[in-house]
Structure 1
Amino acid sequence: MSNDRNEFSWVGSQEHFIDDPDILMLNHMVVGRYGGHSKAGQSKNEDGCLVWFDEKDDWEFTIILDAHHTAESAELIVTEFNQRRSQITKLLSLNATHQSFKRLEENILILFQSSDFRSACSKVQGETSCLIVARKDKYVGWFSVGDCVLYLFHKELAALDQYQLNQRHFYQWIGKVNTFEGDVPCYSVGIHELRKGENRILVTTDGLIECPNEPYSNPLKLYNSFKNSNDDQSVVRSIFDELRDHNVKDNTTIISWNINSVKEAAMPSKSHNQSP
């Protein structure tokens, strides 16, 4: 596990946090890890995550992983990206933001489709969902395989009931069962413009939304939790407390941070007489 000033990575096989959630602040980013409730039958944590950021060049890069059977597939992806940290951070530090996103997607595909990586996947036990999220300037982009979730909370979007950016896709994984071994790899990508003002980015594994009684199935509750508090650590701790109260078994990992965008965002033309 690394925990330097601007980089962090972890896999649940290293430390499981069952019954005992951990909340960590990395500068402006909060990382929460909860292994689930032992009384519900949980005995291992197969999540993983990676966080890099650079305040000078104005970007964050995160990966969140939800493996099953074992954490080996999550370990593999964390290791592969850590080995490519210098290469990827150079792409994110390019002056042309559109080139950063374009070349980042290209490099992710090169890695996941490489024969060496696919061979390594065939040797692990189990497979993982994988959500990669990068924020640069006033844009957030994602590369998603599987069912992890990316939220973007902003008052203008909330007024239109928009909270979630990516679509969860079931039966997609990387590992022993590997979408990149198919005739046509299955994944989704996207880029979204941040609105002017406070933007809350949150990525999570599905333990949060598949908790018994589904206390967080409606993202409005998450939105309000952060909107009504200035203490990100306390918000994440209260989320984990509620999951524990509902006897959640599944592992839950959360990465969240706030971006105050000072740049104007797209709005409908003045001649447009309908809502955006």
Structure 2
Amino acid sequence: MKAVHTFKWISDKKAYLNEIHVEELGPLSIGLYGGNSEGSAVENEEAVLAWCDPHGTWEFVMIFDAEHTIERAQFIINIICERKEKLLQLFSYPNHLVFHHTHMYLLSLFTDETFIEESEKMRGKTDCLICLRKDQLVYWLSVGECFIYLFHPELQQCKQGRLNEQRFYERIGRRNVFAAATPCFTSGVRELQKGTNHIVVATDKIIACGERMFKEEHFLYHSLLNVRYILEKMNAWKETNSAAIIGWTVDVGG
């Protein structure tokens, strides 16, 4: 199997209560925060899986925000990791094929009868956001309330940073969007612009924290190069909620 940089974190192994953890993986800056116990935080129900090509061609990240159990996020991560070789093969496809085939492969996993049956046995519900960046294109698939942003100076002038919106009633769980005859989710592909592009994926607690300053995209845009700063602000506000955020920069030549 082709060697790639790998990061996997499940919050039941390390919750990071009252603690900020930032880890670098290739270009990725991965920030984790379990909430402040002074604000009555008692558990962290988030998870992250990240792979990146050592040669900088692509990055693949998954971020989860669960309710009542982290079991389903662990279950999904295990399924993805078991199929790592197939996914890496898909990532090697040319750009006019890679995103379509990766999207269809992911949907085939999520709509598989066994996956649905096993997932619906577990308590609670799970938000999930998947992102693949290859060359100067970025793909995402989102269920629930996690966010993905693509920041670029020209896009910021048009206030076009966020690529998806919150979907409060779409979850993977006992009421599973993938069990429906027509599954509901958000997905898309966007082209990166010439110059410096910043990609950010985050759980929704980032924008709901404290003074809600990060709900304004320009605050998040100017803070994203320092993931630790964002989490330190949350800790200073004694946030009960946990948070996970991944940010990285992609430069596109002229």
**TM-score tier (shorter):** over 0.9
Q: Tell me what 1:149 maps to.
A: 147
Deviations 1:181-208 (A, max 9, x none): 2232110110000000100000000110
Q: Secondary structure at 2:126's aligned position in 1? A: strand
> Measured at CA, do residues 63 and 8 of structure 1 come closer, stay the same or move farther in structure 2, by a change above 3 Å?
same
CA distance in 2, matches of 1:61, 1:22: 20
- Unmatched segments (≥5 aa) in structure 1: 227-231, 264-276
Q: Tell me what 1:24 maps to.
A: 23
CA distance in 2, matches of 1:118, 1:29: 31
CA distance in 1, matches of 2:115, 2:161: 34
Q: Tell me what 2:71 maps to.
A: 72
Q: Tell me what 2:228 maps to.
A: 237
Aligned ranges 1:137-176 → 2 under 5 Å: 137-176=135-174
Q: Secondary structure at 2:240's aligned position in 1? A: coil
- Unmatched segments (≥5 aa) in structure 2: none
- AA in 2 matched with 1:23: V
CA distance in 2, matches of 1:20, 1:260: 32
Q: Secondary structure at 2:8's aligned position in 1? A: strand
Q: Tell me what 2:121 maps to.
A: 123
Alpha-carbon offset, residue 158 of structure 1: 0.8
CA distance in 2, matches of 1:69, 1:37: 18
Residue of 215, 223, 246 corresponding to 1:255: 246
- AA in 2 matched with 1:178: N
Deviations 1:133-177 (A, max 9, x none): 000111001011111000111111011111111122111111233
CA distance in 2, matches of 1:153, 1:22: 24
Q: Secondary structure at 1:108's aligned position in 2? A: helix
Q: Secondary structure at 1:209's aligned position in 2? A: helix
Q: For the Cα contact (< 8 Å) 2:4–2:52, is it kept in 1?
A: no
Alpha-carbon offset, residue 93 of structure 1: 1.1
Q: Tell me what 2:221 maps to.
A: 223
Question: Which has the larger displacement, 217-226 or 185-194?
Answer: 217-226
- Regions of 4+ moved over 6 Å: none
Q: Tell me what 2:130 maps to.
A: 132
Q: Secondary structure at 1:162's aligned position in 2? A: coil
Q: For the Cα contact (< 8 Å) 1:151–1:164, is it kept in 2?
A: yes
Q: Secondary structure at 2:213's aligned position in 1? A: coil
Q: CA RMSD in A?
A: 1.4
Alpha-carbon offset, residue 97 of structure 1: 0.6
> Measured at CA, do residues 241 and 38 of structure 1 come closer, stay the same or move farther in structure 2, by a change above 3 Å?
same
- AA in 2 matched with 1:37: N
Deviations 1:81-105 (A, max 9, x none): 11111111110111x2121000001
Q: What TM-score comes out, normalization by structure 2 length?
A: 0.95
Alpha-carbon offset, residue 210 of structure 1: 0.9
Aligned ranges 1:256-271 → 2 under 5 Å: 256-263=247-254
- AA in 1 matched with 2:234: L
Q: Which has the larger radius of gyration?
A: 1
Q: What TM-score comes out, normalization by structure 1 length?
A: 0.88
Q: For the Cα contact (< 8 Å) 1:12–1:45, is it kept in 2?
A: yes
CA distance in 2, matches of 1:157, 1:204: 19
- AA in 2 matched with 1:243: M
- AA in 2 matched with 1:14: K
CA distance in 2, matches of 1:71, 1:254: 17
- AA in 1 matched with 2:36: H
Q: For the Cα contact (< 8 Å) 2:4–2:51, is it kept in 1?
A: no
- AA in 1 matched with 2:48: C
Q: For the Cα contact (< 8 Å) 1:72–1:126, is it kept in 2?
A: no
> Measured at CA, do residues 207 and 57 of structure 1 come closer, stay the same or move farther in structure 2, by a change above 3 Å?
closer
Aligned ranges 1:64-103 → 2 under 5 Å: 64-94=63-93, 96-103=94-101
Aligned ranges 1:97-112 → 2 under 5 Å: 97-112=95-110
- AA in 1 matched with 2:139: G
- AA in 2 matched with 1:177: R
Alpha-carbon offset, residue 5 of structure 1: 6.0
CA distance in 2, matches of 1:16, 1:43: 9
